[in-house]
Amino acid sequence: MTTLLVEDIGLLVHGDRAIAPVRDTTLVIEDGVIAEIGASAVAPDQVLSAGGLTVMPGLIDGHVHPTFGEWTPAQDAIGWIHNYLHGGTTSMVSAGELHIPGLAFDALTPELVLSIAITSKHTTGRMRPSGVKVNAGTVLLVPGMTEEHFDRAQREEIDQLKFIFYDWNRLGDGEAQRYVQWAHDRGMMVKMHSGGVSRSGSSRVAGADVVLAVQPDIVGHISGGPIPAPDADIAAIIAGLPDTNVEVCSSNNYRATKVVADELMLRGMLDRLTLGTDTPGGTGVIPRGMLRNICYLASVCGVDPVSAVAAATGQTARAHGLPTGVIAEGMPADLLVLGPISGSTARDGLESFALGDLPGIATVLVDGVPLVASRSEQTPPPSRSVTWRGADVRREAPRPAPVGAGATGCC
């Protein structure tokens, strides 16, 4: 068994808004799993001194659009997942592999969408690009699917489904509601594109009338991706589906996000808020997107920073059925060590978020492994440093090789 002791934690934020942050504490990690909080380890194999910085769960980006591995044709870029890791993202959930070149959104068939999802699940979804946990293989729901399609998806361990190109003129025939029921019968989550047309030009407009009729598990980018439903529709969705999670993405309309935050706070429902970037896409490739989401909610929208962090971590993980996102015994040690950047007046990570100051990331752990050991490539360094003791700590994720490099056996 390998034991990692994280000591000199200035502030521990659990990723659960019901748990108050703890100051001046420690964490014991055994074989990549959080074993104890506030305890000391006897003769640990490794020690990470957090230098008084803030420790919180790794960020869960609940809305990404992977294509294959770390390549995204959406912005002609490679290596984007590596960069998101350095922005603090340790898990991400596909909202559909819809950027595959040549994919005709107006000619999607049940066989095609299922094939894409299965292929993604068994390629990008199994390789952990740059060490990030990527839940890829999300079925883009189209008319004409049968229960057998859902059975096949379940056999392939697909657990995310998405309405985006579905023809809402068919809403009255009950097929979409049947899909939601079939999904729930198999333990799958249903997300739904809400609001206006996306970059594809082919997504269907979905306001309150459609969302309330379908009742998805997660209302995708409720404040815009990039165009939100009208304010009255946002309020009607939040009020009409009290058990449904609502998602805010970096592709948002900032004004509408404030409307969403106000509605949730008014109703005492901030625990329904989940976050994502909705990237890569027309909004770009945004390695610091999730950090900026937290900053915006906490500094402009009046969301307390503990709740904003919970939305970006534990709540987004729970909404998608991911076993991560909170710091608790028995959970994987997917963690960030971060803190204020020199020049900020903040004293800890939460104050940075509350001020809207981007925090600096020192360390990113996934399953207790330091994929970023002491300095993010994507943020300025925090004003205080971490130090490592013990063997075998330099296991940072290498930058992905160029396409084709390292391939064997052909060409």
Q: Quick one: which of 292, 328, 330 has its CA closest to 312? A: 292
Cβ closest to Zn ion, residue 278 vs residue 334: 278
Cβ closest to Zn ion, residue 3 vs residue 279: 279
What is the number of alpha carbons within 13 Å of residue 175 lying toward its C-beta? Answer: 15
Nearest distance in Å: CB 95, Zn ion: 4
Q: Residue 252 in contact with residue 226, Cβ under 8 Å?
A: yes
CA–CA separation, 140 and 117 (whole Å): 8
Q: Residue 63 in contact with residue 277, Cβ under 8 Å?
A: yes
Q: Mask: binding to Zn ion, 59-98, rule CB under 5 A, as x and -?
A: ------------------------------------x---
CA–CA separation, 196 and 393 (whole Å): 47
Cβ closest to Zn ion, residue 197 vs residue 213: 197
Nearest distance in Å: CB 221, Zn ion: 7
Nearest distance in Å: CB 278, Zn ion: 4
Nearest distance in Å: CB 132, Zn ion: 18
CA–CA separation, 203 and 106 (whole Å): 10
Other Cβ atoms less than 10 A from the Cβ of 180: the count is 19
Cβ closest to Zn ion, residue 64 vs residue 291: 64
Nearest distance in Å: CB 280, Zn ion: 10
Encoded tokens for 55: 């420790």
Q: Binders of Zn ion: how many residues, by CB under 5 A?
A: 2
Q: What are residue 2's DSSP bridge partners?
A: none
Residues of span 178-197 touching Zn ion by CB under 5 A? none
What contacts 63, CB < 8 A, 6 or more positions away?
A: 93, 95, 191, 220, 221, 225, 247, 249, 276, 277, 278
Cβ closest to Zn ion, residue 247 vs residue 367: 247
Q: Which stretch binds Zn ion (CB under 5 A): 43-51, 273-281, 296-304, 347-355?
A: 273-281
Q: Which stretch binds Zn ion (CB under 5 A): 19-27, 167-175, 271-279, 402-410?
A: 271-279
Cβ closest to Zn ion, residue 7 vs residue 278: 278
Nearest distance in Å: CB 94, Zn ion: 9
- Note whether 278 binds Zn ion by CB under 5 A: yes
Q: Residue 191 in contact with residue 164, Cβ under 8 Å?
A: no
By the criterion CB under 5 A, which residues form the site for Zn ion? 95, 278
